[in-house]
Amino acid sequence: MSVVILGIESSCDDTSAAVIRDGYLLSNVVASQAVHEAYGGVVPELASRAHQQNIVPVIHEALKRANVKKEELSAVAFTRGPGLMGSLLVGVSFAKGFARSLGIPLIDINHLCGHVMAHFIQAEGDEFDPPKFPFLCLLVSGGNSQIVLVKAYNQMEILGQTIDDAAGEAIDKCSKVMGLGYPGGPIIDKLARQGNPDAYHFSKPHIADLNYSFSGLKTSFLYSLRKWIQDDPDFIEHHKTDLAASLEHTVVDILMDKLRKAVKQTGVTEVAVAGGVSANNGLRNAFREHAEKYGWKIFIPKFSYTTDNAAMIAITGYYKFLDKDFCSIDMPAYSRVSL
């Protein structure tokens, strides 16, 4: 009998549902929330209200596109955390009610683990060459910047992580200071393609071990801008591509410096990248350059699996299902939880 998993993701501002049959992705529906753009960041209360509106149609659409009836489902996998509590509760509550009504198991998924597992999503027509355990994964998103040693799908060790801001958060904040839209990551990425990455230099952190810090870069960016704007009030408008390229270059350098160190320390040369910031073209290029220069085998996810999506939740759920690793109906949502 085939194993059919419904995955549900609602940790932040994307409502998503996906269906996986025997490890193959059949559908992955994502409803993003444009409502936050006007505020320059995610407004938690608006996010949970939008999830409430979206959850039923999104799940309905995912089942329809997969051509799967709800009675065919083997289990419901849902994001337990980390994330915004109000957002998580919508997905968690729906998953519990749905699984209970169908009499099938529930599977709780750590959102960060899901991002790493995005490399195991297999869809019809896709080339499928997943990393072999153990591999390293640079997990970079709006809320996290971590280097993870992935020993098995359910055994991940954090080797280093940010001690303050995440890389995506720093990019978003610098973009906001420049008066660009939200989220800043894709805007900075686009502008950076036309700019000079060596035009400006911003301070880099000196942090021990494999940890990261991005708050100093943010401050350095802000103070430099203030100074330049005193001389030329239109400085940002005149130099935005060079500013974006230099900012992106600094973030990528910081990320790759520690990743090289992690490869050296562990001897592991299969290296993946995951999370929203892994959509960044500068970071993707740096991965390709490192593969060439240092002989790494690299794994870069498809763009659609970089930002929040339920396909990554469903595939992690599939592996947990095979191990019969289910959770009880009283499993709470966790806004803060590590890998």
Angle between helices 167-177 and 235-266 (to 10 degrees): 170
Tell me the DSSP string of 24-78: EEEEEEEEE-GGGGGGTS--HHHHHHHHHHHHHHHHHHHHHHHT--GGG--EEEE
Which residue reads 């997905």 in tokens?
A: 91
CB closer to ligand KG4, 3 vs 46: 46
Q: Which is nearer to ligand KG4, 63 or 140 (CB)?
A: 140
C-alpha 242/C-alpha 147 separation (Å) is 29
| Residue from 68, 109, 171, 191 binding ligand KG4 (CB under 6 A) | 171
Is residue 251 within 8 A of residue 259, CB to CB? The reply is no
Nearer to ligand KG4, 185 or 205 (CB): 185
Tokens describing residue 240:
């935005």
Q: How many helices (H) and strands (E) does the chain have?
A: 9, 11
Is residue 312 within the footprint of ligand KG4 (CB under 6 A)?
Answer: no
Q: How many residues bind ligand KG4 (CB under 6 A)?
A: 19
Q: Please give the residues from 3 up to 42 whose contact with ligand KG4 meets the rule CB under 6 A.
A: 12
Of the pair 216, 301, the CB lying nearest ligand KG4 is at 301
The one-letter code for the residue type at 303 is: F
Strands 106-110 and 297-299: unpaired
Supply the minimum distance, in Å, between the C-beta of residue 279 and ligand KG4.
4
Q: Does 270 bind ligand KG4 (CB under 6 A)?
A: no
Minimum CB distance to ligand KG4, residue 162 (Å) = 12
Of residues 85, 186, 265, 291, which one binds ligand KG4 by CB under 6 A? 186
Q: Which alpha helices (DSSP H) does 81-214 contain, by range?
A: 85-102, 111-117, 167-177, 184-192
Whether the Cβ atoms of residue 310 and residue 81 lie closer than 8 Å to each other: no
Provide, rounded to whole angstroms, the least separation between the CB of residue 119 and ligand KG4.
14
Q: Which of 280, 314, 317, 333 binds ligand KG4 (CB under 6 A)?
A: 280
Distance CA 91, CA 99 (A): 12
Say how far apart CA 145 and CA 200 lie, in whole Å. 24
Could you say which residues in the range 128-167 bind ligand KG4, by CB under 6 A? 141-143
Smallest separation (angstroms) from ligand KG4 to the CB of 78:
16
| Cα separation, 203 vs 218, whole angstroms | 9
Task: Say how far apart CA 284 and CA 273 lie, in whole Å.
Answer: 9
DSSP 3-state of 301: coil
CB of 194 to ligand KG4, least distance (A): 14
Beta carbon nearer to ligand KG4, 74 or 79: 79
Of positions 30, 90, 279, 310, contacts ligand KG4 by CB under 6 A: 279
In angstroms, what is the minimal distance from the CB of 247 to ligand KG4? 10
Q: Check binding of 114 to ligand KG4 (CB under 6 A).
A: no
Contact range with ligand KG4 by CB under 6 A, out of 15-23, 205-213, 264-272, 273-281: 273-281
Mark the segment that binds ligand KG4 (CB under 6 A) among 230-238, 275-283, 284-292, 313-321.
275-283
Report how far residue 215's alpha carbon sits from residue 83's, in angstroms, rounded to the nearest whole number. 21
Q: Which amino acid is at 16?
A: S
The 81-110 contact track toward ligand KG4, x by CB under 6 A, reads ------------------------------
Residues whose CB falls within 8 Å of the CB of residue 164, separated by 6 or more in sequence, listed in order: 213, 214, 215
Quote the least distance from Cβ 306 to ligand KG4, whole Å. Answer: 7
Q: Which of 145, 211, 307, 316 binds ligand KG4 (CB under 6 A)?
A: 307
By the criterion CB under 6 A, which residues form the site for ligand KG4? 12, 141-143, 168, 171-172, 183-186, 189, 275-277, 279-280, 307-308
